Structure 1
């Protein structure tokens, strides 16, 4: 007897991902591959992303499906960056084309969602919540620093409204600009976190928060100036972590008060950072606001949220 499964596919700016859940919502397998960026570069062109995703996807899909007697009940795929009209990025076409083709070939139901919704679904699936009908989510990555209000709909999905965020640089851009200046390989988040763990004293950087809007260009400029003046690299890495952690904590505290919510979900690659997580959790706890954090590998780019949405919507039906 074939095992009914739910397949997820996500092709973000820097990671190709696939995942498979069973009928109980348990992870049966997942595979991901970070896109290759040449040393010293700070990113990829969209054409390079599409090429690498197109090359990666067959191998990754084969790795999670081959050798198993699976019946694909539904497929979830990220088709665009955000759940707003006109949101578009070529990188997601690679995953969308594979998802649509598999659905047509197998008769599986196809759920097309945004990359941002994928992050929220992966976060809730891994963290086990929030279960509230209404909560805040902070999506902090290289391409977003978005404060979102999530409200459950009758069909089981969520209305997601951006209510705050960065007015200039995104959190991941801040990390990567300083990380590259420190000689770290792009994307620099994991290496910067390890470097920060080697010191106890942090470089002092400004924090700019106005209610639900934040600015990271000023802190980034200040960090670069200090490095040019000879600041210690490890202390600067810790300073960047603290600046982001305090920025997030203030914005989330303000958002929870304004919208009367008591639950916050933190997702995105920057949300994997343990220093940031601990600082934000402690600050929000003082206001009796609970921070939900997924396991680190399900906070950064992955396809588990797409699979989880396909699974959850099938249960709802």
Structure 2
């Protein structure tokens, strides 16, 4: 098989990333830049798009130079079609269309959620786990079945990352490097657990009520010196993570699996990993998780997932290289998984990371 090389563009939220990856899973470069707002503020689509416009071309130059490749060495250009914020998504879509015309290279549109899963699988070597995808915009429990990543449970309102981020604004915590990270660090100092609403509905979860409660009722306790900000962060983390572990364990039982892979920005949280690892161990399984290089949005995950599709003949025409804020995980036909699963069944051996050939994941250079 030809050793395809792709450049990937990710810009669905407040991070703009460009990565260069080869089909065997080698990351040649993966620079990114984060739009950081003042404490107490979130990031708006328009301002975020302006940030991405400012940094996309310098990141392309940095990615190519660090990887030691030229446009002639690139086989395809991959970009995030969705889901995500409309204006930031458009920046990457336009950049890819322009470069496709300049370089004469095909385009591959990628689902952001599926990219997180495939990057997690190739980094950790997880074969066929139940996936917990947790980020600022998404919360889903996923498992692969018959050509698609099926959603077994999800949030019915806001994502867990959005819940944490919005509470960080209440406490005016810094957004550098991220509000969720700063909540995690503060939670380690918490000593008092406060009862918060625990909302699990079958396989789904709800976080808006918890957020409303802790924004109003619990913050009153701060004024009365009944608890500390660390206690609130600790209580919030313990509650929402317990909900996530519960629905993930239920999915494991339903799918008759043992292993769990955590992906997405919130997946960096060490307390969430600890709680999930305990559950997996009790069921005889294993937890697979990564650090912020791969959990957090990056261009390499888009490039690698696009390459998996490109290697099976999938491309996106210039006219169809648009973006959408709503792009469900289970809308994607994961043709690379379908073929590899069939080969495993026929040969009793097969790839562990979705590629027709056995993937070895070698990190040559990673830039934050």
TM value normalised by structure 2: 0.75
Is the 1:25–1:311 contact (alpha carbons within 8 Å) kept by the matching residues of 2? no
Tell me by how many angstroms 1:259 deviates: 2.7
Higher share in strand? 1
Q: Which runs of 5+ in 2 are unaligned?
A: 314-368
Is the 2:190–2:232 contact (alpha carbons within 8 Å) kept by the matching residues of 1? no
Equivalent residues in 2 for 1:3-18, closer than 5 Å: 5-18=5-18
2:209 to 218, 222, 231: 218
Equivalent residues in 2 for 1:89-168, closer than 5 Å: 89-129=86-126, 131-132=127-128, 135-151=129-145, 153=147, 159-168=148-157
Equivalent residues in 2 for 1:273-292, closer than 5 Å: 273-292=269-288
Which residue does 2:41 correspond to in 1? 41
Distance 2:24 2:240 in 1: 37
**Cα distance 1:39–1:296, how it changes in 2: closer, same or farther (>3 A)?**
closer
Q: Which runs of 5+ in 1 are unaligned?
A: 83-87, 154-158
Residue-pair matches, total: 301
Is the 1:11–1:91 contact (alpha carbons within 8 Å) kept by the matching residues of 2? yes
Tell me the C-alpha RMSD between the 2 structures. Answer: 2.3
Distance 2:258 2:101 in 1: 42
Deviates more, 1:268-277 or 1:251-260: 251-260
Tell me by how many angstroms 1:22 deviates: 3.4
Distance 1:110 1:263 in 2: 34
Tell me by how many angstroms 1:201 deviates: 4.3
Which residue does 1:183 correspond to in 2? 172
Tell me by how many angstroms 1:106 deviates: 2.5
Is the 1:20–1:29 contact (alpha carbons within 8 Å) kept by the matching residues of 2? yes
Deviates more, 1:135-144 or 1:26-35: 135-144
Which residue does 2:302 correspond to in 1? 306
For the pair 1:238 / 2:230, whether they are aligned, the reply is no
Which residue does 1:156 correspond to in 2? none
